[in-house]
Structure 1
């Protein structure tokens, strides 16, 4: 199968391309660096021409209200190009529980992206993942100083990017779900606890202070999966740290 991976040079995209090509598919990465601009539409028709599947792994450059316009414009352009090219399957990566946190602009933007895809005429699949293990350093940096890191006790179920990429590649190579597949890591932590584990592993002596108002995840009720149909990835957090 020929698969156009939009955002195929990023953290997840590059691994998805590698996995699909290793499985015998023809996965082609596309991004601004390859001449494809999903906002202006430049290069999109050429990128999806002849593709059986389009995987959209692009992300908004900001987490604020501007992310809504980013996902609306990019999805409108991508879906139009995919329809023109006769694409038979369109895949996106989203967030577990995204519709439950309307307080966050970015979550509302990702929910909009899902709605635009589901309302279209192209068979589709949505892979929803919990928070990436790779994002823990960023989450701590938002509310850190020289001595402390402030984090809420939000429950999270972190997943390694390699496990996300494997799941996306599997879905892209299969029949359209016309629905959602949830994936998550195998363990549940409170975010403040995860911060302490991370700092201890790094030999960082800063203190984690539990603060229910700290950072973006303060308003998130938690992305813990309770659905028994959810797919649990194999990589544990301490193994990933090591």
Structure 2
């Protein structure tokens, strides 16, 4: 199968390109660094030439009010180029619960991306993942000082990027879902507790204070970031992953 990965040099994209090539597929890794500009459409026609499937794991450069315009423009460019190229399957990576947190600019932007894909001309699949293990350091840094990290008790179900990549590879090489697949890790944690476990494993002396107003995830209510029935649960446990990354 011929597959183009948009965002193919990033955290998810680079792993996905390797996984698909190892499985014997012909893969084009496309990104701004390879001359493909999603905002202008430059390089897209060449990148999609001969592609059966396109997997879009590109991301907005910001998480603020500018992100909806990014996804509106880039999704439109990609769908139009895919139609010209005869692409038969468009896949995107999104977020579990994304349409239930309208108070966050970035989540509204990703919901818009999903809606544009559903309304587009090409059969599609949406893979929604929970928060990545690898992003925990960033989450800890948002509301931290030298002694304390403040985190809400928002419930999360983190997943390793390797497991997300496998789900994307499986979906990309199968018939279009024309729907959504949720993927999540095997364990659910309050975010503050996840922070404590992370700091302890890394022998970081800072303490975690529960603060329901701290950071981006303070805006999330209930269990919307936790996968529901029918989700694909990955095998990798967070604490096992922590043990391999110390």
Normalised TM-score (structure 1): 0.99
The answer to whether the aligner puts 1:160 opposite 2:172 as a matched pair is no
**Quick one: distance in 2 between partners of 1:225 and 1:49?**
36
Q: Distance in 2 between matches of 1:45 and 1:220?
A: 39
Paired with 1:95 and 1:107, the residues of 2 have a C-alpha distance of: 8
Alignment of 1:15-34 (within 5 A): 15-34=15-34
Instruction: Write the distance in 1 (CA, Å) between the matches of 2:177 and 2:99.
Output: 19
1:121 and 2:121 correspond: yes
Partner of 1:41: 41
**How is 1:117-156 mapped onto 2 (pairs within 5 angstroms)?**
117-156=117-156
Report how many residues are paired.
241
Distance 1:220 1:131 in 2: 13
Q: Name the counterpart of 1:106.
A: 106
Q: CA deviation at 1:40?
A: 1.1
Runs of 4+ in 1 over 4 A off after TM superposition: none
Unaligned runs of 5+ in 2: none
Corresponding residue number in structure 2 for 1:56:
56
The secondary structure found in structure 2 opposite 1:149 is: strand
Equivalent residue, structure 1, for 2:235:
234
Deviates more, 1:70-79 or 1:20-29: 20-29
Per the alignment, in what secondary structure is the counterpart of residue 39 of structure 1? coil
Aligned to 2:171: 171
Q: CA RMSD in A?
A: 0.6
Which TM-score applies when normalising by structure 2? Answer: 0.97
Structure 1 residue matching 2:41: 3-state secondary structure: coil
Q: Matched residues in 2 for 1:169 and 1:209: separation?
A: 39
**1:80: which partner in 2?**
80
Distance in 1 between residues matched to 2:28 and 2:15, nearest whole Å: 12
